[in-house]
Copies of this chain bind each other. A is one copy, B any other.
């Protein structure tokens, strides 16, 4: 497609690099920005530049934060004996939203995926092993909360193998039928696991 201006073309090309946004959507966004007030565009670009320049990763759990140590890791109200292993910061936000977990997190930054060329060394697994095996560590339990996919399971298996020798309990989040879901629509593997992993009715 031929664009009416090289500035439009460059903006479209840059926006279309974002995941899930094609050239047509990008053009729509660009024309929206052109039509809107100047301040809107500058507010957007300032926010992105500030993000890029100021974003930090917690030195303990590797989540995204504004300081050296994130608010969860530095909080005195959190239970320091439990660490929940998650793939990325979205999972931290999702678990925080449930208000069912009061421990700490450890953000791996991905899962082991040979297809995408991601091995254990690309993730924050060494840092987790060091954190758990540290003499001053208060950690008593590690919860594996990775996605129930092949990559997630592989990563859970690998982490369990690495920290099994350390005297720490390793647990995994429950797999079963989702709450509110109709039983007949649950797939066989999920339903099967919900039966083998059944718990006492209380």
Contacts and interface: CB of A to CB of B under 8 A. Distances in A.
Contacts of A92: 4
B64 A51 contact: no
A149 B65 CA distance: 49
A70 interface: yes
A68 B162 CA distance: 66
A50 interface: yes
A14 B11 CA distance: 17
Interface string A160-180: 000000000000000000000
B55 A49 contact: no
A89 B64 CA distance: 40
A14 B43 contact: yes
Interface in A62-82: 63-66, 70-71
Given A51-B41, A52-B41, A70 B8 contact: no
Interface string A34-59: 10001011111101111110111000
B89 A7 contact: no
Contact of A89 (B4, B11, B18, B52): B4
Contact of A34 (B11, B33, B64, B96): B64
A195 interface: no
